[in-house]
Each structure stands twice: as C-alpha cells, then as structure tokens.
C-alpha cells in the first residue's frame, strides 16, 4: 500500500509508475500535506521553507525533498506558480499592476512585472490590455 494515500495527495504519477515513491513516515507526510495547504491558503506571504518547516516539526531539507518527491515540483517553483496564477486572477478582476504587486508582497511593481513576463511571456500591462481588446 502506498504510504501517502491516506492523505489524498495529488501524487507525482510518473514517479509512482516507476516505483520511485519513497516511504515517508506518517508525521512527515502529514507535515508536507499541511505545508502545501498553508502555501495554497497563503500563497502571497513571504514565509520561507526554513521558517515553515520548523513550524511543522521537520527539517527544511526533508520538507523540500519530500514536497518535490510527492508533488513533482519544487517548493520555489510551486510558490511562483501559485503567485502567478493569483496575479492573473487579480488582473482579470480589474486590479491594477501596482495593487497586484503589493497584494503578492513584491517590494516593487517592476519586480512583479519582470516575474510575470518571465512566467507568461507578456507584461502584466499587456495582459490586462489584452483583456479589454
């Protein structure tokens, strides 16, 4: 039996098919699941993996390795994905670029614009303008 199934996690299916899902202790799986819920509920805050791993009682390395192993994506990439999806939603809702940058805890609107362009291939302003076209 897969040790992760009791937590109903969306697993890294290719790793499962190759028999590469490691066996994690129950408390580690629970911590990783809780950590992901925290990320999903508060994607905009700037908490680090180090800070949150301490909150969940496991080391940062175990958290990072387990998260990537279970979900098939690293924590940094997952957080970026969550932020960019939230940014897109806010822009679609009519929020301006500066407001979105502040909401997502970017120190400067320019940093947000660069991250958005790197992720989607267009600036947030171009994206917002395309919605009105």
Residue 40 is predicted with a pLDDT of 86
Q: How many whole angstroms separate alpha carbon 86 and alpha carbon 8?
A: 24
Mean pLDDT in consecutive groups of 10 residues from the start of the chain, 133 residues? 43 52 79 88 68 82 91 92 95 96 93 97 95 80
> pTM value?
0.76
pLDDT of residue 83: 92
Are 67 and 74 in contact, with CB atoms under 8 Å apart?
yes
What's the pLDDT score for residue 82?
A: 92
> How confident is the model at residue 9, as a pLDDT?
46
**CATH class in words for 81-132:** mainly alpha
**pLDDT at residue 3 in the model:** 43
């Amino acid at each position: 039996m897969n040790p992760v199934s009791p937590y109903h996690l969306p697993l890294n299916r290719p790793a499962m098919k190759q028999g590469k899902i490691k066996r994690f202790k129950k408390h580690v799986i629970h911590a990783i699941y809780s950590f992901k819920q925290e990320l999903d509920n508060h994607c905009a805050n700037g908490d680090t993996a180090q800070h949150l791993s301490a909150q969940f009682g496991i080391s940062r390395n175990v958290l990072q390795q387990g998260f990537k192993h279970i979900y098939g994506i690293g924590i940094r990439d997952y957080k970026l994905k969550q932020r960019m999806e939230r940014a897109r939603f806010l822009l679609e809702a009519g929020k301006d670029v500066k407001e979105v940058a502040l909401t997502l805890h970017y120190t400067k609107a320019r940093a947000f614009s660069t991250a958005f362009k790197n992720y989607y291939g267009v600036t947030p302003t171009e994206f917002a303008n395309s919605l009105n076209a």
